[in-house]
Structure 1
Amino acid sequence: MPGIAGAERFAHDGSTEIGVLLSHGFTGSPFSLRPWADRLVAEGFSVRLPLLPGHGTRWQDMNRTTWPQWYGEVESSFLELRERCAAVFAFGLSMGGTLCLRLAQTHGSDVAGLVLVNPSVLSLRRDIRLVSALARLVPSVRPISDDIAKPGVTEHAYPRTPLRALASLTKLWATVRADLPAVTQPLLLLHSAVDNVVEPENSKVVLAEVSSTDVTEVVLENSRHVATLDHDADLIFDRSIAFARRLGAGDRV
């Protein structure tokens, strides 16, 4: 069970026309995406917002998990929706966006479209190259959470960054980046003008290397990394709903 209030898995069965899978980020939990999920429910969509293994409890638990386990939880929720809904979309924040890209690479046209908010596929930080070796010596380092411009808002992420889990994340980045040309689905990518966690090169690489022809880029001028809890949250929600309604109506490219 989650040890953080609001970190629970969320599921809602609404429309059988449109379903949305939501995926949270590294060291975070469904808490960071629950307002987005609630808006989608209000629109009548079916929604799945899983809690990724090792998240929502203690950072030590996350060090016992790897990216295939995180992806497996996302995929399981996606398949639940695919059984129910005619069109299923994958929406993700940060590493959640990375997992959604992997879902698109694996499941092809079964994924009706992608909405990615500050997705990660790489890091330019020099210390990242040493993380696998460092993880054998040090279990955790300072956190990378709560990059939010809006005063008084927290995502309730872990107070430490688990290094073995971070080393696994770098393997996920390599896997997803190598297969970016396999992504052909319609894509709405929203990224913050100022992001202290994920460098802008991430969105540039995704936009440059996917094969999607229906692509929309939106710059979030008033938010930082956890944009789903920030000043531009309503913009993200509105644009994603319009995107899903357009494609769920059959206007796929």
Structure 2
Amino acid sequence: MKVVAPKAFTLEGGKRAVLLLHGFTGSTKDVKRLGQYLQKRGYTCHAPMYRGHGLTPEELLLTSPSEWWQDVVDGYNHLKNLGYEEIAVAGISLGGVFSLKVAEEFPVKAVVSMCAPIKRNNTDGLFDRLYNYAKIYKSFEGKPTEVIIDELETLKNTNTESLHGVHEITETTCDGLQRINSPILVMQGSLDDEIYQKSASYIHETVETDDKEIIWYKESGHIITLGKEKEKVCEDVYEFLNHIDWIAS
């Protein structure tokens, strides 16, 4: 069975724009519910789909983090080209790292960082994510168990050089956190791995802005936009964005 990859989306809702960024091995499905929630309340939302994502794990490895970052930049410019002058950015996991990087390099009205692994020390966890993604993806394809086992074994021996670029982007972003002076909301699942929990506290402590808040979700793991408290996540993002002094009404 052929798996249909999710696509980028733009949901027009008002003059205030939000760039929504998904995670590594994730897709725009990570942020679709949040985008729809914000659209209904007057925000225009755009979510780019990174190259290689939503495809086979083998195809994902043929792309690079620098290309994914370019997709983020293109997403930001897409909103600019549509005429939006005020843009906030919100991302989850690697998308959270990218949201911080956007705030460091471009004018943003506000930034929402969800479960961003800014304190990642190596790429070990990234391959684990890729491996788990591969198991799920190949099962959806309807492949026989023995074929899946063989392909997963091959994947273990595949060159994963591109994953090192994730570590480099994360390190660079971490070094630039003090440049962020836009209002920021840090959101973190309490059931998430330790690296993400430490990262959340570090981001909140390190950013330069005084307008900052951190919210912990006691019943949530990593992808909080799809977890038990997903409705609360949407409400909190909306409440945070609404306290910003937007020029556009």
- What's the TM-score bracket when you normalise by the shorter of the two chains? 0.7 to 0.9
1:79-113 superposed Cα distances (whole Å, 9 cap, x missing partner)? 22234224211000010010111111111xx2000
Give the percent of matched residue pairs that are identical in Structure 1 and Structure 2: 19
Between 1:66-75 and 1:78-87, the stretch displaced more is 78-87
**Structure in which a larger fraction of residues adopt helix:** 2
1:186 maps to: 183
Question: What is the alpha-carbon distance in structure 2 between the residues aligned to residue 231 and residue 166 of structure 1?
Answer: 30
How far is 1:197 from its partner?
7.7
How far is 1:130 from its partner?
7.4
Query: Do the aligned partners of residues 129 and 118 (structure 1) sit closer, same or farther apart at CA in structure 2, a change above 3 Å counting?
Result: closer
1:137-152 pair list within 5 angstroms: 142-143=131-132
1:201-220 pair list within 5 angstroms: 201-220=198-217
Partners of 1:33 and 1:228 within 8 A in 2: yes
Q: 1:228 aligns with which of 225, 228, 234?
A: 225
Question: What is the alpha-carbon distance in structure 2 between the residues aligned to residue 69 and residue 227 of structure 1?
Answer: 25
1:11 maps to: 10
Partners of 1:114 and 1:186 within 8 A in 2: yes
Query: Do the aligned partners of residues 59 and 204 (structure 1) sit closer, same or farther apart at CA in structure 2, a change above 3 Å counting?
Result: same
Quick one: which amino acid aligns to residue 74 of structure 1? V
1:156-208 superposed Cα distances (whole Å, 9 cap, x missing partner)? xxx97983342221111111111111111100111011103843111122112
Partners of 1:122 and 1:170 within 8 A in 2: no
2:62 maps to: 64
2:109 maps to: 112
Query: Do the aligned partners of residues 64 and 11 (structure 1) sit closer, same or farther apart at CA in structure 2, a change above 3 Å counting?
Result: same
Partners of 1:87 and 1:248 within 8 A in 2: no
Question: What is the alpha-carbon distance in structure 2 between the residues aligned to residue 243 and residue 15 of structure 1?
Answer: 17
How high is the TM-score relative to the length of structure 2?
A: 0.81
Residue 23 of structure 2 aligns to a residue whose secondary structure is coil
1:200 maps to: 197
Quick one: which amino acid aligns to residue 101 of structure 2? R
Question: What is the alpha-carbon distance in structure 1 between the residues aligned to residue 245 and residue 51 of structure 2?
Answer: 30
1:21 maps to: 19
Residue 109 of structure 2 aligns to a residue whose secondary structure is strand
Query: Do the aligned partners of residues 199 and 244 (structure 1) sit closer, same or farther apart at CA in structure 2, a change above 3 Å counting?
Result: closer
2:145 maps to: none
Residue 112 of structure 1 aligns to a residue whose secondary structure is coil
Q: Which has the larger radius of gyration?
A: 2
Query: Do the aligned partners of residues 196 and 207 (structure 1) sit closer, same or farther apart at CA in structure 2, a change above 3 Å counting?
Result: same
Partners of 1:198 and 1:225 within 8 A in 2: no
Number of residue pairs matched by the alignment: 224
How far is 1:41 from its partner?
1.5
Quick one: which amino acid aligns to residue 41 of structure 1? Q
Partners of 2:57 and 2:133 within 8 A in 1: no
How high is the TM-score relative to the length of structure 1?
A: 0.80
1:249 maps to: 246
Query: Do the aligned partners of residues 66 and 217 (structure 1) sit closer, same or farther apart at CA in structure 2, a change above 3 Å counting?
Result: same
1:157-172 pair list within 5 angstroms: 163-172=160-169
Question: What is the alpha-carbon distance in structure 2 between the residues aligned to residue 113 and residue 8 of structure 1?
Answer: 25
1:88 maps to: 87
